[in-house]
Amino acid sequence: MRTMDWFLAAQHQRKYNEENGYPQFAPAYGTCWYCGKNIYEDYEESKGISLESAGSEGITGCPHCHASYVD
Contacts for 17-26: CB closer than 8 Å, 24+ residues apart? 17/58, 20/58, 22/58, 25/58, 25/59, 25/60, 25/61, 25/69, 25/70, 26/59, 26/60, 26/69
4 — pLDDT class (breaks 50, 70, 90): confident
Q: What integer pLDDT is reported at residue 2 of this predicted model?
A: 77
Q: What integer pLDDT is reported at residue 57 of this predicted model?
A: 96
Q: What integer pLDDT is reported at residue 43 of this predicted model?
A: 96
Domain, as residue range, for 36: 1-71
Taking only the tens place, the pLDDT of each residue in 19-59 is 999 999 999 999 999 999 999 999 999 999 999 999 999 99
The C-alpha atoms of residue 49 and residue 30 are separated, in whole angstroms, by: 10
Q: What is the count of structural domains for the chain?
A: 1
